[in-house]
Amino acid sequence: MTAGRTANQTDPVAKTPHGTVRGRYEQGIAVFRGIPYGAPPFGPRRFLPPVPPESWSGVRDAGSFGPTAPKPPYSEAFAQYLSDPDIPGDDCLNLNVWTPEPGPGARLPVVVWFHGGALTRGSSAVPVYDGSSFARDGIVFVSLNHRLGVEGYGLFPDAPANAGLRDQLAALEWVREAIAGFGGDPDRVTLMGQSAGAISIGALVAAPRARGLFRRAVLQSGAPEAVDRDKVRRMVRRMAARLKVPATAEAFAAVDRELLLRTQAEVGRLSSPVLGGPAFGIVVDGDLVPRDPLQALLDGDAARDAGLLLGWTSDEYRLWLVPGGLVERVDRLGPVALAGAMARCHCGSEIPRGYRALHPDAGPAEIVGQMVTDHMLRRPLHRLADARPGTTYAYEFAWPSGRPGLGACHSLELGFVFDSGDAPDSVRLAGDDPPRALAAEMHGAWVRFARTGDPGWRAWDAGHPVRIFGDGPARTAAGPRDAELALWDAEPAVPHQTPAPQPLPARSLRGTELRSVVRRLRRAATDRAR
């Protein structure tokens, strides 16, 4: 469907549960930005669950993006690839709507987008996330902001956990109640997110309180997980020690917001997706997240009828290791880096040996990167697909960036899913002249999934079909990652024709020595982005 509005038409108006909003027509699409779904989460509401915004009289202007959640900027190394606009203001619990048919009656399918950024960065205002291409194709597209970092995922004895995830639930409840007024069908909602956004969706798909708020879900480069509570506590305690305040919500609420952000950034510098470390994340809280989300989904006691589209990129790790030259440093460290990866993945030496056997020409950085990617991403997504055959679809994004060294890295697929590859922010990551045909294929598959639940290839079954989006037309491959993932479930059986793997260090690193290795690698990987 293509919207037929004209640019000079009267501004669109829609009703929400809290008042009327006026948007803008942009190339025939009605766009509403900065609509509050929750009250500002500061002052007496800081670190507490969200509450509805105050209602307003008259018509509220919704022509500009609302404030973004407090967050530190990306490091210089990452800022050359990733955009992260910062819009000041307290009213950060807001969302945006792109629709081809504003007003009740259209009953169009709805996509709700959850941004990435390791739950510490990102927002709905990132230019790549423009929803106009989805609205152009008959989808009502919603994107949202929520609390990040310590504001959204700090763990305190005097405040409920997972405030940021509770924000996301509140936004979905807003969609359920309000989206018909924007032309959407509240019974045809697809959740869609990448990286931390996909992790959030995994928790919501598994959450009993979110049932009935969506029909399908897309998880791009992020698997359902619950972070160990002590990992989050360590972040809070380290921040408290630097700030010289108690590790409580009451004490943190009294700290200047900018100082809190700087402290969070300093404490988080030694955390890395590749090598772990203390970090903010979703935790089991006995309420919104009653148990580990992945296990709940594997056991089949959560959202059994929800269709899933799951996937990853071929070289996820390159966005984590290429900026700042960490690939070269990991390659120089060699066996030390492999030992660090073993600690990160909680595995023995048979795993890196197996990867070396399967990829004899790969250097240490590639082996480390693919090991960690499989451990934290591909393996849990495979397990999830195995538990839900017939209604689950899998993909791999394999087109390499035109930027040196990035390959098919984490986040690269976004410009293709959103069909926004020509946007300057997409070019920063993909390079000049990304293939338009690939964008049309990927975006079309995501649109079909939101409409019908079928993206256009065979659903997951015992043959492990994976749609490969790379150079040339998309194709379906049978189990392209099965050999690597089998290493995690049994001792590897190395084919006789495969060259023998290089030996690992003669003695294994243990205890304090291994922890020292991991600390050295984390220092080299400071300020990584997930």
Phi and psi torsions of 21, nearest 5°: -125, 150
| Known active-site residue 195 | yes
Residue 474 belongs to some domain of the structure: no
- Domain for residue 100, yes or no? yes
- Residue in the block written with tokens 């793997």: 501
CB 310 within 8 Å of CB 384: yes
- The per-residue pLDDT for 421 is 79
500-511 pLDDT per residue, tens: 333 433 334 444
Q: What is the pLDDT of residue 522?
A: 52
- For residue 226, what pLDDT band results from cuts at 50, 70 and 90? very high
Task: State yes or no: is 316 an active-site residue.
Answer: yes
pLDDT, residue 145, reads 98
pLDDT of residue 519: 52
Among candidate residues 151, 316, 366, 484, the one labeled active-site is: 316
Q: Where are the alpha helices (DSSP H) in 305-347?
A: 318-321, 326-333, 335-345
Express each pLDDT in 393-421 by its tens digit.
999 999 999 999 999 999 999 999 999 87
Quote the pLDDT of residue 93.
98
Whether residue 410 lies inside any domain: the answer is no
pLDDT at 9: 65
Domain that holds residue 216: 13-309+320-392+445-452+491-524
For 148-202, what is each residue's pLDDT tens digit? 999 999 999 999 999 999 999 999 999 999 999 999 999 999 999 999 999 999 9
For residue 397, the model assigns a pLDDT of 98
pLDDT > 70 in the chain, percent: 90
Q: What whole-number distance in Å separates Cα of residue 217 and Cα of residue 227?
A: 21
CA–CA distances in Å: residue 410 to residues 10, 102, 200, 221:
41, 34, 17, 7
Mean pLDDT of 13-28: 97
Count of C-beta atoms within a 10 Å radius of residue 497: 5
Whether residue 140 is predicted with pLDDT greater than 80 in this model: the reply is yes
Q: Is the pLDDT of residue 523 over 60?
A: no
- Spell out the residues 6+ positions from residue 70 whose beta carbon is closer than 8 angstroms to its own: 92, 148, 149, 151, 257, 260, 261
Residue 406 lies in a domain: no
At residue 510, the pLDDT reads 44
**Residue at 43 is within a domain:** yes
Which residues, in sequence order, are bridge partners of residue 194?
220
- Tell me what pLDDT residue 303 has: 75
Mean pLDDT value across the chain: 90
The CA distance from 276 to 258, in Å, is: 25
Q: Give exposure, 142-165, as e/b (b: 16+ Cβ within 10 Å).
A: bbbbbbbbbbbbbbbeebebbbbb
**How much is the pLDDT for 291?**
96
pLDDT single digits (tens) 97-127: 999 999 998 999 999 999 999 999 999 999 9
The CATH number of residue 379's host domain is 3.40.50.1820
Has residue 485 been placed in a domain?
Answer: no
Q: For 475, phi and psi rounded to 5 degrees? A: -140, 160
Phi-psi region of 384 (alpha: psi -120 to 50; beta: other; left: phi over 0): alpha
User: Given a cut of 90, is residue 499 above it in pLDDT?
Assistant: no
Mean pLDDT over 62-87 rounds to 95
With cut-offs at 50, 70 and 90, classify the pLDDT of residue 128.
very high
Is residue 46 one of the residues assigned to a domain?
yes
- Please pick, among 123, 133, 195, 426, the residue that the annotation labels catalytic: 195
273-305 confidence digits (pLDDT tens):
776 777 899 999 999 999 999 999 999 877 778
Total-model pTM: 0.91
Task: Using the structure block, give the residue that is written with the tokens 């030390």.
Answer: 336
pLDDT at 6 over 50: no
Over range 447-456, report the average pLDDT: 98
pLDDT of residue 301: 77
Q: For residue 490, what pLDDT is reported? A: 67
Q: Is residue 404 part of a domain?
A: no
254 has pLDDT over 50: yes
The answer on pLDDT for 348 being more than 90 is yes
Quick one: pLDDT band at residue 496, thresholds 50, 70, 90? very low
Check pLDDT > 80 for residue 132: yes
User: Would you state the pLDDT for residue 269?
Assistant: 81
Q: Give the C-alpha separation, 415 to 435, whole Å.
A: 11
Predicted local confidence at residue 422, as pLDDT:
79
- Nearest in space to 83 (alpha carbons), one of 127, 34, 146, 133: 127
Count of domains forming the chain: 1
Active-site residue identified among 115, 410, 443, 464 = 410
464 catalytic, yes or no? no
Q: Return the pLDDT at 517.
A: 43
Determine the Cα–Cα distance for residues 488 and 373; give it in Å rounded to an integer: 13
470 by Cβ neighbours in 10 Å (0-12 / 13-18 / 19+) ranks as middle
